[in-house]
Structures are given as structure tokens and as C-alpha cells.
């Protein structure tokens, strides 16, 4: 069982524990109730883009099994559920509202309300409608305004029934995996495109914030970033490690917190910098009520030629998860304390943290020993961060259940609940049962 000092906030009912998912990864039913195609439907059909050309057509059939899933979340003793909304279910290609999509999320949210679960909604978790990508996607500034219109529709309908609205999930992945290295949809590999997509994503966030506050004045509104803190491989790599942090961490959070991009990165990439409107930085930095932090691992950096060129170093003799990421819980502690020192942070929620494991069903059970050790270590880091003055108020395990892991397809299992994809049976793993024991023991 997860154990923390008796005075730890993690033992307090006011510190919320939850699980997280994303629409394209679990819902399936991609051709049901007038949902239109997303960029991930298109990307998955591209030969070689996704492991064994897996896709989200069926996934975990959450679209039909949501009631069972909500019951399971509640039965595990969780306080909260973080889900994302499929934009392609809400707005049709002609711009009209798809009531069937709103009705689906109404059913899910009603089920969560019946279980008294805190609800955190992410409006954009990477599944951009394909019709918008046909017009340029996140390279087109107009997409930011389309996002604001979508945020208006959804928040006007649900209002304060949603406790937390997050505009975007991991714009780093949307911009850099989607437009810089081509690993994610829409599969573009170009620096200029990546930086322009990043700016338009952050603009979309800024445009949506006043709309969300208007329609849901009693809810909390923020954004979710993924952070992979960089560590120098040696003393001579400290300067390039700092640059790597500016490029991958501060390039995304500094515009929100300070209204500007890091000068080091801007100057180095001056030839591929985005087109920035006169009022854009003011819109982007309108202020947030909470910061969502996604953390999985760290990166070790060494020089790769003249400053600021760098490369990632793969250490030997370190523990790694099934996806190949190093288990490094101290990185979460350092990340939280460093961010707290660099910025005047709002309340922080760990919105994703978890491990992929090579899970196997043995005699009807899954003993995911590495995963529950991973959770214990990282929750201990959260406890230490709170003791050092970081205002962390919640923790969401990634993921509630095994699901479609983007370009890795169904090869990687991140869930605390096992999914048999042939039968769609859900089986709580030992990590889930340990969470339940801990949550039920809180004061």
C-alpha cells in the first residue's frame, strides 16, 4: 500500500486523486453519431505511421461502456476523473453543432456526477477535426479562433458542471511531434511549422480563457503541459542543458506566465520564428487558475558540436519502463521546485504520471510490480515538493486503463486497469488495488 508520513497532504481528503484518459485513446465508435474524422484517423491509415497500423476505431469501446468505466473509477475510491472531449464529435464540418456529441458527454458527465466524482475536462487532446487540417491545421491562425468557437459551444452547454477546464493537453507534443519530427499527426517534420503550430496552439488557449470564465464562472480554468527536465551528462554540457530546458519547457510555459518567449531560443531560431500578432502575447498570458503538469521521465543532455547544439544521451544501468523511459522520480521533485522558483505558479495538479509495463494476465490477475513501485516513488516526490512549498493539490494516474498509445498503437500498456481488447473485459491490476487500499485509508 502507498504510505506517506502521517502529516502528508497526500493523506488528506482535500488532496484529490484521480485517473486520466483521452478521447481518441479509449472511446472507439469513430463512425457513430455523426462524429467526423480527426487527424489521428488519417494518420493511423498512413502506412508505417503507427505500430502495425493500429487505430482508435474500436479502442476500449468507452463510447458504449462508459457507465461500467465510471462505476469502476468510483469503486477504486478515486476522487476525480480527467477526460478529454473529442472536438470531431462536437462541431461538424459546416460549423454546426452536433447535438449527438454533446448528448454523449452529457451522459458521461451525469454518470460522474452520480458518483460525486470531481470532473476535469481537457478540450483538446490532439484529435483535431480533419476538415480543419485540410485548411492548414495548427499552421493556420484561423484554427485558434475555431478552437475558441468550440470552447464556447462546449462550455456554454456544460457550464459549472465541469469542475476544471483544461484548454490543451501537451501542446509540446502537438507542435513538436506533430509538426517538427512527424511522429504524431499530422506527420509534418519542419522547424518553422513546429514553432508556428506552437504559437497558434497557445493563442487558441488564450482566446478560450475568457470564454470559459464567462460560461463557467465557478469552475477552474488552466492548461496542461508535459515536462521532461534535462540533466547535463557532464560539466561541459550545463550550458546546452539550460538551452534545452528553454526550448522544451520554458518555450511553452513562459508565454503563459510572463507573456514572452525565451530569448535564447528565439534568437537561435530567428529564421523560423512564428508570425506573432501585436496583441498575441497579451492574449496568451491572460492568467490561469491552475497548471496541469504531466511528468514521466527525464532527459540527459550532452554537447553535439558548437553551442547550443545538443544530443540526448541514453544511460546504461538505469531502470527503464517498457516504453524505454528511465524511472527517475527525483526529476519530478526538481521540476516542481524549479518551476515554483522560476514563476509565480497557480495551484498545480499532476495531471499525468505513470509507467508502461509488459503486463500479462496470470491466473486472472496482473501483478504490475514495477508500476506500483513507480507510483510510490513519484508520489513521494510530490509529497517532498509540497513540503518545499509547491502548491500541489492533486494527482492523476495515467492511465485509468490500457488504451491506444498513439504511434505505439496497442503495444504499450499504461493502465492501472487491464483491458482484454478481444473481449473488452476490464481487470484491475495490483497497482489499482493498492491505490484503492490507500485511498480508503485516508483520514
Summarize pLDDT for 118-136 with one digit per residue, the tens.
999 999 999 999 999 999 9
Statement: residue 80 has pLDDT above 90? yes
Which is catalytic among the residues 14, 114, 142, 352? 352
Class of domain 9-441: alpha beta
Strands 417-420 and 425-428: antiparallel
Query: How far is Cα 150 from Cα 155, in angstroms, rounded to an integer?
Result: 9
Query: How far is Cα 185 from Cα 170, in angstroms, rounded to an integer?
Result: 14
Share of the chain above pLDDT 90, in %: 98
Mean pLDDT over residues 239-260, rounded? 98
Contact 97, 152 (CB under 8 A): no
Verify whether residue 437 is a known catalytic residue: no
Query: How far is Cα 89 from Cα 376, in angstroms, rounded to an integer?
Result: 37
What local confidence, expressed as pLDDT, does residue 1 receive? 74
What local confidence, expressed as pLDDT, does residue 2 receive? 86
**Which residue from 246, 250, 231, 229 is spatially nearest to 332, judged by alpha carbons?**
229
Contact 19, 397 (CB under 8 A): yes
pLDDT band at 443 (very low <50, low <70, confident <90, very high): low
Which is catalytic among the residues 14, 142, 152, 170? 170
Verify whether residue 352 is a known catalytic residue: yes
Query: How far is Cα 334 from Cα 357, in angstroms, rounded to an integer?
Result: 25
Mean pLDDT over residues 36-51, rounded? 98
Dump pLDDT digits (tens) for 334-381: 999 999 999 999 999 999 999 999 999 999 999 999 999 999 999 999
pTM over 0.85: yes
User: Which three cell numbers, joined as nine digits, stand for 407?
Assistant: 504511434
Amino acid at each position: 500500500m502507498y504510505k506517506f508520513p502521517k502529516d502528508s497532504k497526500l493523506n488528506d481528503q482535500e488532496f484529490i486523486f484521480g485517473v486520466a484518459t483521452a478521447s481518441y485513446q479509449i472511446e472507439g465508435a469513430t463512425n457513430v453519431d455523426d462524429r467526423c474524422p480527426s487527424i489521428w484517423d488519417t494518420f493511423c491509415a498512413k502506412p508505417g505511421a503507427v505500430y502495425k497500423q493500429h487505430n482508435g476505431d474500436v479502442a476500449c469501446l468507452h463510447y458504449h461502456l462508459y457507465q461500467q468505466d465510471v462505476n469502476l473509477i468510483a469503486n477504486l475510491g478515486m476522487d476525480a476523473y480527467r477526460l478529454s472531449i473529442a472536438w470531431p464529435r462536437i462541431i461538424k464540418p459546416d460549423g454546426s453543432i452536433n447535438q449527438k456529441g454533446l448528448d454523449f458527454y452529457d451522459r458521461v458527465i451525469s454518470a460522474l456526477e452520480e458518483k460525486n466524482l470531481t470532473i476535469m475536462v481537457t478540450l483538446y487532446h490532439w484529435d483535431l477535426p480533419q476538415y480543419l487540417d485540410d485548411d492548414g491545421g495548427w499552421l493556420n491562425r484561423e484554427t485558434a479562433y475555431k478552437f475558441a468557437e468550440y470552447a464556447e459551444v462546449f462550455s456554454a452547454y456544460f457550464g459549472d458542471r465541469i469542475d476544471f477546464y483544461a484548454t490543451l493537453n501537451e501542446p509540446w507534443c502537438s507542435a513538436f511531434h506533430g509538426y517538427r519530427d512527424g511522429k504524431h499527426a499530422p506527420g509534418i517534420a519542419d522547424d518553422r511549422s513546429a514553432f508556428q503550430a506552437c504559437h497558434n496552439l497557445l493563442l487558441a488557449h488564450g482566446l478560450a480563457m475568457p470564454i470559459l470564465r464567462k460560461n463557467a464562472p465557478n469552475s477552474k480554468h488552466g492548461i496542461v503541459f508535459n515536462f521532461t527536465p534535462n540533466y547535463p551528462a557532464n560539466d561541459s554540457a550545463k550550458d546546452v542543458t539550460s538551452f534545452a530546458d528553454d526550448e522544451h519547457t520554458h518555450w511553452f510555459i513562459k508565454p503563459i506566465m510572463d507573456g514572452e518567449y525565451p530569448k535564447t531560443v528565439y534568437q537561435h531560431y530567428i529564421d523560423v520564428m512564428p508570425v506573432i500578432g501585436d496583441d498575441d502575447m497579451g492574449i496568451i498570458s491572460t492568467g490561469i487558475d491552475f497548471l496541469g503538469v504531466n511528468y514521466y521521465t527525464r532527459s540527459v543532455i550532452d554537447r553535439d558540436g558548437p553551442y547550443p547544439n545538443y544530443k540526448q544521451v541514453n544511460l546504461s544501468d538505469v531502470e527503464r519502463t517498457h516504453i524505454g523511459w528511465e524511472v527517475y522520480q527525483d526529476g519530478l521533485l526538481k521540476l516542481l521546485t524549479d518551476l515554483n522558483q522560476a514563476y509565480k505558479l497557480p495551484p498545480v495538479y499532476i495531471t499525468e504520471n505513470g509507467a508502461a509495463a509488459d503486463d500479462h494476465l496470470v491466473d486472472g490477475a496482473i501483478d504490475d510490480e514495477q508500476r506500483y513501485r513507480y507510483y510510490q516513488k513519484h508520489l513521494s516526490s510530490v509529497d517532498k515538493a509540497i513540503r518545499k512549498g509547491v502548491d500541489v493539490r492533486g494527482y492523476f494516474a495515467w492511465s485509468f486503463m490500457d488504451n491506444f498509445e498513439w504511434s505505439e498503437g496497442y503495444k504499450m500498456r499504461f493502465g492501472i486497469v487491464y483491458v482484454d481488447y478481444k473481449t473488452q473485459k476490464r481487470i484491475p491490476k495490483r497497482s489499482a488495488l493498492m491505490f484503492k487500499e490507500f485511498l480508503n485509508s485516508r483520514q
